[in-house]
Structure 1
Amino acid sequence: MSLPALPLFHRIAGQPVIVLGHGEAAQAKRRLVERAGGQVIEDLAHGIDIGARLAFIAHDNPEACSADALRARGAGLLVNVVDRPALCDFTTPSLVDRSPVVVAVGTAGASAGLAKHVRLRLERALPQGLGALADALYAAREALRARFPDGADRRRALDTALGEGGALDPMVAHGADAVALWLDGAADVAPAHHVIALRSADPEDLTLREARLLGMADAVVADPAIPGAILARARADAQRLPPGAPLPDGLTVELRLPA
Structure 2
Amino acid sequence: MNSLPLFHRIAGTRVVVVGDGEAAEAKRRLVERAGATCCTEAEAHHARLAFVALDDAREAAAAVARLKARGLLVNATDRPELCDFTVPSVLDREPVLVAVGTGGASAGLAKHVRLRLEALLPPSLGRLARALHAGRDRLRARFPDGGDRRRALDAALARGGPLDPMAESSSAQVEAWLDGAEIPAEAACMEIVLHSDDPDDLTLREARWLGQADTIVHDPGVPVAILDRARADAVRRPAGEPLPMGGQTVVLRRAKAAG
When normalised by structure 2's length, the TM-score is 0.68
Q: Using the alignment, how far apart are the partners of 1:113 and 1:10 within structure 2? A: 23
Alpha-carbon shift at residue 61 of structure 1 (Å): 1.1
SS in 1 for 2:102: coil
Gaps of at least 5 residues in structure 1 are 188-259
Taking only the aligned residue pairs, the percentage that are identical comes to: 63
| 1:122-177 deviations in Å (ceiling 9; x for gaps) | 00000011100000000000110000001111111111111111111101111553
Letter of the structure 1 residue corresponding to residue 128 of structure 2: L
Instruction: Tell me the distance in 2 between the aligned counterparts of 1:13 and 1:143.
Output: 29
What pairs with 1:1-259 in structure 2 (closer than 5 Å)? Answer: 4-41=2-39, 43-48=40-45, 51-174=46-169, 176-185=171-180
Which amino acid in the other structure matches residue 67 of structure 1?
Answer: A
Q: Deviations over 1:90-120 (max 9, x none)?
A: 0000010000001000111111111001000
What is the one-letter code of the residue matched to 2:140?
R
Deviations 1:181-207 (A, max 9, x none): 1122368xxxxxxxxxxxxxxxxxxxx
- TM-score under structure 1 normalisation? 0.68
**Greater than 4 Å deviation, 4+ residue runs:** none
Q: Aligned-pair distance for 1:47?
A: 1.9
Distance in 2 between the 1:153 and 1:24 partners? 51
* SS state at 1:167 partner: coil
Gaps of 5+ in 2: 183-259
Q: Distance in 1 between matches of 2:172 and 2:117?
A: 25
Kept in 1, the 8 Å contact 2:76–2:82? The answer is yes
Q: Distance in 1 between matches of 2:181 and 2:133?
A: 17
